[in-house]
Structure 1
């Protein structure tokens, strides 16, 4: 498979960067082609422009400003997202990725009758989210209702194939995680991704 591995963290020495390296090594060891998209390193602008918003219902929608990344998404068989959860949500740069790339003509088309949208990313058969949270498990799941998982599984994945394989691996309580716990999480990531077929 061709996997688009997306990293959304500003620090190259971050734990997220270590997770992305581990994921890449595991995927490549299994024979997959990995296209690393480091949003910060590639200086991705997450802001939806005035022109993009005004033309949102134009046919065809103008994706020329993000055509390179849109083409990489359309060429992928799977997406692996690596990011921290901040304030129980995506980092702004990842939210901007969804705003600008999961757009008409890339992720969906508008139903000619109006209303519903027609998914277009049927090439994506796998969506993994590899993430960390500063909060403990019980707070994320029981109190907040795991909002990032819900958004990814119920909304983002719906732009893709109905048979999409979705998985989310999270390291909770990241700010207090010991080196042992971090290494164990990296091993969990490695095992999960080396098993991707």
Structure 2
């Protein structure tokens, strides 16, 4: 598979960068190809432009300013997102990536009758998120209802591609994680990601983020 890995963290020595590195090594070790899209290092501007918003419901959405990134999404068989959760949500730069790249005529088509949008990213068969959060598991799941997972799985992934393999692997309580805990999580990420494409193995493997 050809994987587009999208990294969203401003610090080059962040834990997210370590996760991306481990995941990339695991994927390439299994023969997959990886296109690393580091949003900060590539200078991605998350702001939807006046032209983009103005053409959002026109017959042709004007994606000329982000065409290079769109080409990379369309060339991928799968997406792997690597990011921290801040305030139980995406970093702003990743939200802007969805706003500008997952656009009409690219990720979906509007239903002329006003119904559910029609997915266009049929090339994307796999949609994984590798993330961390400063809050404990019980706060994310029981108190907040795991909003990031819900948005990614039920919203973005489901509305843009049919039958996509969705997974989210999370490190909770990141702010108090010891070095040993972080190391164990990196090993877990490597083990799970190395099984991408091995469906029989995945069926019998514990869910990454129940």
Matches within 5 A, 1:128-147: 128-147=128-147
Structure 1 unaligned segments of length 5 or more: list them. none
1:105-161, CA deviations, whole angstroms, 9 ceiling, x for partnerless residues?
Answer: 110111233343111011110011000000000000000000000000000111343
1:16-54, CA deviations, whole angstroms, 9 ceiling, x for partnerless residues?
Answer: 000000010000000001000000000000000111111
Give the secondary-structure state (helix, strand or coil) at the position aligned to 1:127.
Answer: strand
TM-score (ref. length: structure 2): 0.92
* Runs ≥4 residues deviating over 4 A: none
Preserved contact between residue 123 and residue 160 of structure 1 (Cα < 8 Å) = no
TM-score (ref. length: structure 1): 0.98
2:34 match:
34
Q: Does 1:9 align with 2:12?
A: no
2:72 match:
72
Preserved contact between residue 9 and residue 16 of structure 1 (Cα < 8 Å) = yes
Q: Does 1:121 align with 2:121?
A: yes
Q: Does 1:60 align with 2:60?
A: yes
Preserved contact between residue 121 and residue 159 of structure 1 (Cα < 8 Å) = no
1:189 match:
189
**CA separation in 2, counterparts of 1:105 and 1:40?**
25
1:99 match:
99
**CA separation in 2, counterparts of 1:75 and 1:112?**
27
